[in-house]
């Protein structure tokens, strides 16, 4: 019995040693750069999808800013009223009525006030919007210019119900969220914004990043451009090990190693780290069921990083080489770095998968290269949100493409549209989709993301990217 117990102990020690080695290897591989020191004249804005994300990801930054005398403002997109499982554990009772969900939101709002007070940020610098938890991504992708606003599945309401919130009474429509966010940013004029990551698996986290990108594009001629620092919270199997480990660093997940993200770390003092731990524990409604996960973010550093903006120069193919769409496979191969290189397109992903973008003959080409042969039943979902300086974003198409082999379904928000102009080609290891720029509203910028089902892409290639389309003029393949 004693021998068996000793073997178990040795096995646990071995696992922890492996995790520590993996963490150290990860840090060396990613070569993290240090965060630019906070200055007294900084105007810092923390955008939080739910109450607790700001403490999980930015408690150290918040404390540093307060200590330097910099201004800090925290904006919460939702009140986090959808996490009913956590509240069942916390309050030890079922919470199925509309009023109970609103009660959940108020509990989390008060927890945020308490946590930020601990970190030195007063209630007057907290802004709660109160849009629907677990609904904001659907709002962004499907409800622009809609006749009916989004209706929350749990609360069964369609407008912000919290009387004390900034957005009280606002309809669950993307125009409402964008208007509120732009008003807050234009008034505060932050020079540093911390926001949820475009590669985060949580839909509200993706949505807040998307709304911010559109807001900053709308405001680019009205305020100085702030520096944006995305933080990652939800990523499968990360961070490890779980629970509170103040002796460990927070390093990029393995799914993002080798990516184009320039990760930046902010190192916490022991005092800041201890207070961060206490701030997370202020969220008793969440830590009652998930302390093992939430406290795993209380480590020696905080982590930020975004995908770089990509400039795609428009290319014109030679007519004799562009007889059919399938000829473009040859063009891709022949052009080599011209179409898929650093200047005119971009390769995304690690050694496992690559997703490449190019603009040829006024069409966007998206090419997925797989390390293993793709199943013919592979289904790909591609989001393409065009932005134009000439057209309000609400009026621009919001395109979602679902491709199963050579079968293409195209949607503009919730409406299925004719897909004659969209085409695809599949070979055992390469899947290419062609989308005319006209279908996207002839945009200056395209914000895009791609997912696969049945033949899973790595997380690094599924995050939202910003493609800036530039006028070119060179003949492709000449």
Q: Which residue has the tokens 């969209």?
A: 422
Of the CA atoms within 13 Å of residue 170, those in its CB half-sphere come to 22
Q: Tokens at residue 49, please?
A: 């999808």
pLDDT at 458 over 70: no
Of the CA atoms within 13 Å of residue 224, those in its CB half-sphere come to 10
Residue 193 pairs with which residues in a beta bridge?
Answer: 45, 228
Residue 25 pairs with which residues in a beta bridge?
Answer: none
Q: Tokens at residue 25, please?
A: 């290897």
Of the CA atoms within 13 Å of residue 344, those in its CB half-sphere come to 23
pLDDT tens sequence across 112-151: 999 999 999 999 999 999 999 999 999 999 999 999 999 9
- Tell me the mean pLDDT in the region 282-295: 93
Strands of 223-314 (E only): list them: 227-231, 264-267, 301-304, 310-313
Q: Which residue has the tokens 């709308």?
A: 218
CATH tag, 19-304: 3.40.50.10320
Given pLDDT bands bounded at 50, 70 and 90, which one contains residue 52? very high
Three-point CA angle 386, 389, 393, nearest 5°? 50
Instruction: Indicate the pTM of the whole model.
Output: 0.87
3-state helix, strand and coil shares in percent for the chain, rounded to the nearest 5: 35, 25, 40
For the ranges 97-111, 259-273, 313-327, 413-427, the lowest mean pLDDT is seen at: 313-327
Q: Tokens at residue 67, please?
A: 């200590």
Q: For residue 84, which phi and psi values (nearest 5 degrees)?
A: -70, -30
Residues present in the chain in total: 478
pLDDT at 16 over 50: no
**CATH 3.40.50.10320 residue spans of the chain:** 19-304
Strands of 407-444 (E only): list them: 407-412, 415-417, 423-426, 430-436
> Which pLDDT does position 371 carry in this prediction?
64
Rounded CA-CA distance 29/129 in Å is 39
- Tell me the mean pLDDT in the region 53-77: 98
């Amino acid at each position: 019995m004693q021998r068996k117990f000793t073997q178990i102990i040795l096995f646990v020690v071995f696992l922890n040693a492996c995790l520590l080695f993996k963490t150290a290897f990860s840090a060396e591989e990613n070569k993290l750069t240090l965060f630019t020191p906070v200055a007294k004249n900084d105007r810092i804005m923390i955008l939080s999808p739910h109450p607790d994300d700001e403490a999980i990801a930015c408690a150290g930054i918040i404390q540093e800013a307060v200590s330097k005398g910099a201004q800090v403002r925290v904006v919460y997109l939702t009140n986090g009223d959808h996490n009913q499982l956590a509240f069942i554990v916390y309050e030890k009772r079922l919470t199925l009525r509309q009023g109970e969900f609103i009660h959940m939101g108020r509990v989390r709002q008060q927890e945020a006030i308490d946590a930020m007070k601990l970190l030195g940020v007063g209630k007057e610098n907290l802004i709660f919007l109160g849009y629907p938890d677990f609904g904001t991504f659907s709002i962004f992708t499907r409800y622009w210019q809609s006749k009916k606003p989004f209706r929350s599945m749990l609360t069964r309401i369609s407008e912000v119900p919290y009387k004390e919130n900034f957005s009280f009474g606002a309809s669950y429509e993307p125009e409402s969220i964008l208007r509120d966010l732009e008003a807050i940013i234009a008034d505060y004029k932050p020079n540093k914004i911390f926001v949820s990551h475009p590669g985060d698996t949580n839909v509200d986290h993706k949505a807040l990043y998307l709304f911010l990108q559109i807001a900053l594009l709308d405001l680019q001629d009205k305020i100085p451009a702030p520096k944006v620092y995305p933080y990652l919270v939800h990523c499968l199997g990360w961070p490890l090990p779980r629970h509170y480990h103040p002796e460990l660093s927070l390093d990029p997940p393995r799914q993002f190693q080798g990516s184009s993200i320039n990760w930046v770390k902010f190192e916490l003092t022991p005092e800041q780290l201890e207070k961060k731990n206490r701030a997370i524990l202020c969220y008793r409604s969440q830590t009652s069921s998930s302390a093992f996960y939430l406290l795993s973010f209380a480590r020696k550093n905080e982590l930020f990083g975004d995908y770089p903006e990509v400039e795609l120069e428009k290319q014109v193919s030679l007519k004799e080489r562009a007889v059919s769409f399938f000829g473009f496979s040859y063009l891709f191969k022949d052009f080599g770095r011209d179409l898929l290189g650093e200047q005119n397109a971009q390769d995304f992903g690690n050694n496992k998968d690559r997703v490449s973008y190019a603009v040829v003959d006024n069409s966007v080409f998206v090419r997925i290269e797989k390390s293993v042969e793709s199943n013919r039943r592979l289904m790909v979902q591609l989001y393409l949100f065009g932005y134009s300086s000439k057209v309000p974003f609400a009026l621009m198409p919001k395109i979602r493409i679902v491709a199963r082999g050579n079968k293409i379904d195209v949607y503009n928000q919730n409406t299925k549209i004719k897909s004659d102009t969209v085409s695809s080609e599949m070979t055992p290891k390469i899947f290419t989709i062609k989308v005319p720029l006209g279908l996207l509203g002839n945009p200056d910028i395209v914000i895009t993301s791609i997912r696969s089902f049945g033949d899973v892409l790595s997380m690094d290639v599924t995050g939202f990217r910003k493609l800036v389309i530039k006028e070119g003029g060179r003949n492709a393949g000449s």
